[in-house]
A = this chain, B = another copy of it.
Amino acid sequence: MAERRKFLLDESEMPTSWYNVLPDLPEPLPPVLHPATGKPVTPDDLAPIFPMALIEQEMSQERWIEIPEEVQEVYKLWRPTPLFRAKRLEEALDTPARIYYKYEGVSPPGSHKPNTAVAQAYYNKKEGVKRLTTETGAGQWGSALAFGCNLFGLECKVYMVKVSYHQKPYRRVLMETWGAKVVPSPSEDTEAGRKVLQEDPDCPGSLGIAISEAVEDAATHDDTNYSLGSVLNHVLLHQTIVGLEAKKQMEMAGDYPDIIVGCIGGGSNFAGLFLPFIKDKLEGKKEDLRVICVEPEACPTLTKGPYAYDYGDEAGLTPLLKMYTLGHNFVPPPIHAGGLRYHGMAPIICHLYNLGKVEAVARHQTQVFEAAIKFARAEGFVPAPEPAHAVRVTIEEALKCKESGEPKVILLALSGHGHFDLAAYDAYLAGKLEDYELPKEEIEEALKGLPKVPA
């Protein structure tokens, strides 16, 4: 009989709680600091920005946090997502490894992002907020938040980096289809935007400027909150539904991963998959589990950055997070994996990396697209440039298994499809894709901007 290709859960088997790793960490997470005082931030410090439910989740020591029924109902529009056995890829590689991938590209916005967007929209709505603002670069996060806000009847305003707004109109249209208002940033709608435009009317924008605009908009409107798509603990929490489903599905398959591979930008997609598994490693049930974080050579946060306190945004408006960082002023080269161009990294991932519980590697984008094409030709689905980084390392590990003859089990985080990224595939296929060597001096220069932590 043919081996199974797909492991599906019925919606009645969808997890009803998220997994919070905080109480299971071998050492507590370093505190988030107030930049003025150097003291740990309190819930009150965060209240102007976030609804109380999310602030509580950010700091909770509860291992399991119930998913509200209204959020579960929305998740069921596309969840549980499928787990695939990559049998055709295994055959193409002639490897004894058994490769599985958890595919989040089936969501309406096409990635894992709505897992948290929907939850954030729900909690904000519940606490009386009428409107959410956010920034977006390539548009993955913006479209997920537009989707989430639409489902709960919240207004959504997205500040989209101007160069992307013009170069990637499809993501903008997707946001507008779901009813969001999208403006190119810098915009005339905020003080921050107007200031930039006055100095440089042709400024192409940056994620840093867009964050400043979105935060200012939220801060100056009573009915409005700001929403973040990665990095923070509560975002990673919401994403654990991915790994909780995958655990059940791996059980259906009768396998347990030896290696889990994912890409990291802010870290939420991969943490969502691996946290429920790393629980077993931390508890000594699967000590040899390898968790491999893959980042771009063009933005090598874990592999080249120091572990230090830094701002989450370019403008230095946020509290200080202890993380591996390239410095909040670091401007990464324009690689196609827009979601991996962040200077910092989720504190939970940084902590686990510092403790030696997860590994990290970096890859160039031409290597990455070569692997993505191989994957698409074997399995059909066209990966987004971000998870294509993880595809690359999955193939490398599978080929090592071919060398050694070991039938290892590899689980790949395929966080989204590449339907809106085909210009990048076009560039690769036409031989026009460039790699970027990042001079050591450039990182050193950016790190000079690291903030001093008040004693």
- A151 an interface residue at 8 Å Cβ cutoff? yes
- Interface status of A420 (Cβ within 8 A of chain B): yes
| Interface residues as binary, A158-184 with B (CB distance below 8 Å gives 1, 0 otherwise) | 000000000001100110111100000
**A69 proximal to B (CB < 8 A):** yes
Q: Does A173 contact B425, Cβ atoms closer than 8 Å?
A: yes
A108 touches B382 (CB 8 A): yes
Closest to A147 in B: B380
- Number of A residues near B (Cβ < 8 Å) is 44
With A151-B380, A177-B376 known to touch, is A420 a contact of B423 (CB < 8 Å)? no
Protomer copies: 2
Q: Does A440 contact B (CB under 8 A)?
A: no
Q: Which of A341-397 contact B (CB under 8 A)?
A: 373, 376-377, 379-382
- Is residue A438 within 8 Å, beta carbon to beta carbon, of the partner chain? no
Interfacial residues of chain A within 182-207, with CB under 8 A of chain B in the complex: none
CA distance A169 to B419 in the complex (A): 12
Does chain B have a CB within 8 A of A4? Answer: yes
B-contact bits for A62-90, CB 8 A (1 contact / 0 none): 00000001001100111000001000100
Which of A81-121 touch B at CB < 8 Å?
Answer: 84, 88, 106-108, 110
The minimal Cβ–Cβ distance linking A30 to chain B, given in whole angstroms, is 38
Task: List the B side residues contacting A423 at CB < 8 Å.
Answer: 169-170, 173
A258 at the interface (CB under 8 A from B): no
Query: Which of B8, B147, B377 interacts with A178 by CB under 8 Å?
Result: B377
Q: A5 touches which one: B77, B106, B177 (CB < 8 A)?
A: B77
Cβ of A422 under 8 Å from chain B: yes
8 closest pairs, A vs B, by CB?
A108-B380, A173-B422, A5-B76, A419-B419, A170-B422, A173-B426, A77-B380, A108-B381
